[in-house]
Amino acid sequence: MTVPDVRELLARGEHVEAARRLRAAGALAEAAEVLAQVWRHAEAVELALSSEHPEAAYKHALASADVRLVERTIDALASKPEAARRAADLAEVRGRIADAAALRRAAGELAEAAALYEKAGELGLAARIYEQTNELRRAGMLYERRLAEAPDDAASALALGRILLGFGRAEHAVRALQQALKSPELERDVLPWLLRALVGLGLLDAASEILDRLRAFRPELPLDPRAASSALSHEAALPRTEAQELLLGRYRVLRALGAGGSGRVLAAEDVFAAREVAVKVLSTAGGVQGRDALTRFAREAQIAAAIDHPNVVRVFDFVPEGPLLVMELMPAGTLEDRLSSHAPLSPAVAAHVARSILRALETVHRRGVIHRDLKPANVFFGAAGEVKVGDFGVAHLVDAQATLTGAMMGTLAFMAPEQITGDGQPDATTDLYALGVILFRMLTGVLPFAGPDFVSQHLGEPVPSASARAPWLDAAFDRAIETLMGKDKESRPRSATDALFLLDALPFAAAEEGFVRMTEQGATAPSTAPISQRPRASQPPPGDAGRYVPRELVLRRGRELRLADDTLLGRRVQIVEGDDASIAHHRGLAKAVSPFLQAVLAIDAERREIVLEDPSGTPAGSGPIDFARMSDLAEALDVLEAHQLSHGSITRESIVVSDTRAVLLLPLAPSAGSLDDDRRAVARLFGGR
């Protein structure tokens, strides 16, 4: 056969005959190419796999659009590593990430394969490869993510349970293995590992029940669960991990952050989640009192872990074996760090911090959690200046008899009278008293009661004047702090929301001007904390590109608006272009402040831009809205009414609903309508007439 003969056959359209002659001559790759031209892809794949260029088989399989043929081809290339590697290059160029992962795996390039599987969203496959290469931390993390999206993946649950057990996390291993046990097909494989985990926790009764089930498959096992566990451990070793080097098998300690009466705080690396965290190792008294305190704290820690709010330090885990609490790491220190120089903060910074604390308290109080130990050391700063409250419930761990010791004086300086005397149950107003003390200290640089006899001072002495120490403040600040620090809790604001109204009425802008003027004249002693480690004294205007980073243009409620990231406060905002009428309209709406009403964050009349809160959640659906969310909207309308305002255009699109609240979005332009119209509109959304 000659090349002209083949060309002549191809010119006449006789591709099959041309391919037959090429094959007979040993030109298998060329024969495959000819067959592929007439869509005989399966034959082309077969010839290419036997040729000197087997990677071409993958190209022909792709051209067939036959998923099964592609899979068979990838399987066949597993015995041809070099060809699989070249085929993987083609797959990546074509954007076939999952195929590229399988081909990299066939080529023995396991690290690359795992990374590609992860990129393709095939978390279980990626985890299995990491497990195969003994990268168990990464494997465990991916198994956890896989189970979050597919709770019924029993094989992944079993693998995660084995890894957790190897890291010494028996309690967490039990949860994963119980999840895997829901699959009858895996029962025989799961039971041995679950038995070992339960024995490791000392839960012998539960282990005996599991052993009874296991002996149906393995009757030769001893009747004693500990003996059976020992026998099983000799059959199958736990995955080899670095557990002995890690705190509770998961946290690698990086440095100490501090210590206090309730324990010590460490910066650590969570090797499973690949992130830095703060780990508080808790200290409790012995005996019944200590156990009761730990039980109460564990309950509140679980509540705090369920709270997702931008002003609350996130709690990731509570580990009774420590006992320890795993929290979000706040890299920029605490409010106590800022106040340690005994110099006042600027009023603008103090307002930002106080409002952030109150927003946190709004959320946690609604969940029934009272902080009880609110103080500057428990107020944290993030890298972007965001303020978060942490250490909820830690005060429960402190023996009541220890409150007068030197170690607790810092806490006692912020205690409400009812806490000191033990009269009555602490409630929301107890935290607001502590906020009043914090506000006084931020504005003046000193405590309202300097001690050492904090008890008699908090119980009997009147609240001193803040404006006497900080002349840039006027008497309104004195009245507000005196209200927050009322000796009788009934005289304080009833809620954090009420306290926010109290703060919003204060002339912070005028105080800031006076503070700046006196600072320039050397009449104040501003904080010496580095500016990169503390909130900024003044905020840039909405148009400042350094603060608001645009993300996307969206069309909402018939208007185009920009979504942007507020880099100063670490939140997403909406920016709306407005005319004179809408700017004036939003200035009026800015007076109405409620967690259930979209907030006006800033207005720049020169740039004609209005910056609004971008609340988390989804627009109200077509069905009835939950009754609990109806009360949220009713409160939003009450706030509007208190300021003689109305909405005028309430629809489902103007209501954002999340698990914790409903938020009424502000009208983007002035509209006609009364508050009665608003209430009727809300009633209709809940099925009313």
Catalytic residues: 373
User: DSSP secondary structure string, 507-525?
Assistant: -HHHHHHHHHHHHHTT-S-
Cα three-residue angle 388-394-395, rounded to 5 degrees? 115
Alpha-carbon distance 289 to 9, whole Å? 95
Q: Which residues of 66-103 are buried (b: 16+ CB within 10 A; e: fewer)?
A: eeebbebbbebbeebeebbbbbbebbbeeebbbbbbbb
Bridge partners of residue 255, in order along the sequence: 267
DSSP state of 393: T
Contact 267, 329 (CB under 8 A): yes
Backbone φ and ψ of 553, nearest 5°:
-95, 135
- Find, among 318, 484, 470, the residue nearest to 417 by Cα: 484
Q: How far is CA 606 from the centre of its chain?
A: 36
Q: How far is CA 363 from the centre of its chain?
A: 16
User: DSSP secondary structure string, 331-385?
Assistant: TT-BHHHHHTT--PPPHHHHHHHHHHHHHHHHHHHHTT---S---GGGEEE-TTS
Q: Which ranges in 470-621 belong to alpha helices (H)? A: 475-484, 496-504, 508-520, 580-589
How crowded is the C-beta side of 452, counted as CA atoms within 13 Å? 4
Cα 420 to Cα 413, 447, 493: the distances in Å are 10, 17, 20
Alpha-carbon distance 43 to 20, whole Å? 11
Alpha-carbon distance 406 to 373, whole Å? 16
Cα 476 to Cα 414, 472, 479, 506: the distances in Å are 22, 12, 5, 6
Alpha-carbon distance 678 to 628, whole Å? 18
Contact 424, 321 (CB under 8 A): no
Contact 586, 601 (CB under 8 A): no
Contact 169, 247 (CB under 8 A): no
Contact 394, 301 (CB under 8 A): no
- Find, among 156, 218, 168, the residue nearest to 197 by Cα: 168
- Find, among 319, 348, 328, the residue nearest to 268 by Cα: 328
Other C-beta atoms lying within 10 Å of the C-beta of residue 240: 9
Contact 144, 272 (CB under 8 A): yes
